[in-house]
Structure 1
């Protein structure tokens, strides 16, 4: 394998003022120094409404709330052929719920990802857990800076131990020096200096340390507490300098103005090291145990400073073996006592300094950069796209969690005595948009699907309503189906689209084969035959596909209908002609662009090929569906439907958004048809991934369905889910669920399958 050439670090970057910006910049610089042959750059996260004068090392920036920036960043990294991407993850620096926008970028990357988790929560919210799990899935390796992080990743998030690396927070490699010279330069001669540095915010516990100062001064009269750092920018934006002013007011109230110094500045590295050099004791009185990493602690420890700290996770590990002192959270008396003890015991203080400095030598940025480079190499050697394959000794069956129960409560709430409503406002049926034959035909398909074994059929009165809607949609004057009806039961047109006519024929064909009522089966077959003739003149490939799906069912119950058989061959030949006229080695499709319900075209050919014993139809369907799945699969292996914003574009990769349930449902059905056509277990895995899109395995890591009610959101926008839950969406989810439940039942009747082998998983 060729050596690493290019790596990119994603995170905040100086001159943005925060700990992640400092860490990202320091890590990038350390890698560049340790490996001069390796080109390293930063992809910088920019917080909302801010601009920064980034240095040349920042090759790309992402506005945290702009989903398109994440997509463009992925395109930039892929086009630049970076060997590895190193993500610096912290909650709050990425957009979306729990920072889910970063998943949009990760899912598109072609190279391995190494993620550094600066925070690992022991009690994450559901959204935080989902985002963390998706990031782990997308990463070849994950890095934490403390062994507690490894423990939490294993126990809370079930991350395999061999995927986790513990690399300490980096520190500057500076000589050990006594504080007197730096005190003289900074104007603190003859003082016992206590230091805290970093961005000020209430969780830092500065107020507790201020309350401890009077007790320290009673034992060490020359003590000075120096608070070095600007107020956190987010705090300044929300409430100005109220927090700092409150701290200063407390100092005045205690009468210790001459012993507490606030230096309101964001110190550069040289200034920071000078201030650490001059302190006698460093203190981190943080209030929250769940702090996995503290750069300020690491820097002070690395310069051999005695540290008094509350026992947050990082401090508990770093200050073991008498390398520092731990005190209870929020306990001003304990902090005061321990600091005074150190300031008045020079021998103990100096011994602690030497132990800390010696223990920190493995933490220098040079050593950290070497370890990261080794992890990058390891990640690249083990990186493979997660492609599911068959075993050499036969097809292996993919394993998947049992699909949810079939819940139709929400579906029933979307129906009235006319049929299924078209749209909803959130979860409330929207009467303003009435009904359409498209959705009621889909509802009739669902009624047929629920007549299968293991499912509870819809109430017969409801199936009758869908059938009645279809019957009423038939216009004998035009010999086509109307589509749109207002809430007042007035038809809004004399005829609908070719596609809606084709979809209605599909539903009628399935009803002729699978309806629970013998009388309705006869009705459906008769109306199908009546409505088929005019459809021969249609020009829409999707209408042809829908009709072929209906003919697959109708011809099974009317094998003597010569006309239907002729139409089936004619429509299949038209699709074959489209494919032959458009197909190229890199565009194996029927049209110049991708649009909606794409998978129905290959599905129609696959089913027709199997039913008519015409291998050319089957082969064309499999070939085109296999190509389509390359367009609908992210680099991380997740299903990504063709986005609606790309409809109409010619021979372009599909757009990512908006994503709609109808695409997932069509893909599930097509992939399962392909599996039945050639027996390749990979098709089952693809169907499972398409169904998992409903459950949250998608670009935004957002579940679209409520498994308790069976409702389904209308899709994914670039930055959020569409909260409306219309008729099409709920029927599409339930149709896909019915397919997956049928598959699960079939598996339960077979021998327990061998586990799926995932290359690179």
Structure 2
């Protein structure tokens, strides 16, 4: 289908009428191709233009004027990911590289036909160009252009200025997009749910926690429906013995991955999510709370089976919402284990629970602080302070956060010399959640100041100076690589951003110190 978009320019209409359009319609009739050509004879708003471009396989930009400097529609098409076939005006020659489309000569219809056919005949190439164009154009969004200008001006005046990032409004569009009938889809192809990736307990547990906090703030009926959906998924993943499986395919079958991977962290994360439901029992429908308590009681029987640091930390967080000596005793055992690990591994220059730092580090000292709040054992509090402050000293550098990268974990005695990249939104979110708890417990203004520094990572305060949150889709890009952003917007990253953003509600309506 060949679409011809737009109405005739008013000036042309005044002097020539619809001569050109009539000529095109004559050609269409002559070749009997009217079923394959559509005129959209109207002035298109930007929103409507982008809607058409989003379904466009190849965008044709042809001009007879070699002196035409720029084209707005060319820019829109490129930013929509369209492979482009274009004549060589200056704008096109500057921007359109070989991997983004094809430049043809002026008035060369044979070249145009050949270029279009070559792209359309190669579905893999079509998809690759689409992704390349989107990837390259991310840095030209208004937010990223604004950030780039600030750093350019700083360079020119040789002076650093404080940059204040505007916190975006909460947007659940991508949350709803990724929430299918069964649950939260695991991965996304750019911003579209990748149903073939199936579902994970991890993601639905995180989504449950995020939506609980959203409901606490906004009390939306739609949020209750999502809470029920994610809670039901957790129940679906619970096995007869009270343990959880993590991976479910699009048809609801548990996959082979469940036998190939360690599921301790997933089990702990489920306990955390269920505990959060119990913690909001006074706000939620009875059916939701009752189911969460039932699942949590069954899961807690296995709480001491797992020895993963993060699994134990998640479990402490979840069980802290439950009342009763039995749950307090479990928390003490888990906190004692973490304390023993800390005492065994730590030294004057390494205040940590293991000889290395990997992912989701902030949750461990946060859990130790929670253990202190539950038991009043001063050892837990002291270890929480020491380990969290040590972690912050490793990841907060020059008023920016650089979380431990999955391209190179941090090992004891080793300077962080790995190339930047592989930074994940989940680590940033967990750091904000921990900072929020430490600030509310200690009233230390430095923790409060750091919360805003860390959240600004999502908005461009990072090593590539680009926004990681996507304000158009409401999703969050999957991570920062060394020189670019991973433009997929999957479950973990999107939910992590939302968790962090909701925490900011307590810190954006009051002046930052």
Query: Could you tell me the TM-score, scaled by structure 1's length?
Result: 0.46
Take 1:718 and 1:127, find their aligned partners in 2: how far apart are those partners? Answer: 16
2:382 to 595, 616, 619: 619
Pair 1:538-2:306 in alignment: yes
Q: Indicate if the aligned counterparts of 1:710 and 1:734 stay in contact, CA closer than 8 A.
A: no
1:617 CA drift (Å): 1.4
Take 2:219 and 2:413, find their aligned partners in 1: how far apart are those partners? Answer: 42
Deviation string 1:368-413 (CA, Å, 9 cap, x unpaired) is xxxxxxxxxxxxxxxxxx9xxxxxxxxxxxx976632111011100
Partner of 1:414: 178
Q: What are the equivalent positions in structure 2 for 1:334-353 lying under 5 Å apart?
A: none
Q: Indicate if the aligned counterparts of 1:400 and 1:688 stay in contact, CA closer than 8 A.
A: no
1:732 to 490, 493, 496: 496
1:454 CA drift (Å): 4.4
Partner of 1:638: 400
Partner of 1:521: 289
Over 3 Å counting, the alpha-carbon distance change for 1:549 and 1:451 in structure 2 is same
Take 1:623 and 1:132, find their aligned partners in 2: how far apart are those partners? Answer: 39
Q: Indicate if the aligned counterparts of 1:408 and 1:710 stay in contact, CA closer than 8 A.
A: yes
Over 3 Å counting, the alpha-carbon distance change for 1:456 and 1:134 in structure 2 is farther
Partner of 1:497: 263
Take 1:400 and 1:530, find their aligned partners in 2: how far apart are those partners? Answer: 47
Take 1:439 and 1:125, find their aligned partners in 2: how far apart are those partners? Answer: 30
Partner of 2:474: 710
Take 1:457 and 1:588, find their aligned partners in 2: how far apart are those partners? Answer: 45
Deviation string 1:346-382 (CA, Å, 9 cap, x unpaired) is xxxxxxxxxxxxxxxxxxxxxxxxxxxxxxxxxxxxx
Over 3 Å counting, the alpha-carbon distance change for 1:136 and 1:615 in structure 2 is farther
Q: Indicate if the aligned counterparts of 1:595 and 1:647 stay in contact, CA closer than 8 A.
A: yes
Pair 1:487-2:250 in alignment: yes
Aligned alpha-carbon RMSD (Å): 2.8
Take 2:263 and 2:189, find their aligned partners in 1: how far apart are those partners? Answer: 25
Pair 1:142-2:157 in alignment: yes
Q: Indicate if the aligned counterparts of 1:414 and 1:727 stay in contact, CA closer than 8 A.
A: yes
Take 2:254 and 2:410, find their aligned partners in 1: how far apart are those partners? Answer: 29
Over 3 Å counting, the alpha-carbon distance change for 1:435 and 1:651 in structure 2 is farther
Over 3 Å counting, the alpha-carbon distance change for 1:660 and 1:455 in structure 2 is farther
Pair 1:683-2:463 in alignment: no
Q: Please state which structure has a larger fraction of its residues in helix.
A: 2
Q: Indicate if the aligned counterparts of 1:645 and 1:657 stay in contact, CA closer than 8 A.
A: yes
How many residues matched?
A: 372
1:571 CA drift (Å): 0.7
Pair 1:700-2:464 in alignment: yes
Deviation string 1:94-126 (CA, Å, 9 cap, x unpaired) is xx979x9xxxxxxxxxxxxxxxxxxxxxxx975
Over 3 Å counting, the alpha-carbon distance change for 1:704 and 1:538 in structure 2 is same
Partner of 1:30: none
Provide structure 2 residue ranges, at least 5 long, that are not aligned to the other structure: 1-134
Take 1:572 and 1:719, find their aligned partners in 2: how far apart are those partners? Answer: 40
Take 1:569 and 1:127, find their aligned partners in 2: how far apart are those partners? Answer: 47
Aligned with 2:188: secondary structure? strand
Pair 1:440-2:208 in alignment: no
1:131 CA drift (Å): 2.5
Provide structure 1 residue ranges, at least 5 long, that are not aligned to the other structure: 1-95, 101-123, 144-158, 164-385, 387-398, 748-752, 757-761
Partner of 2:318: 550
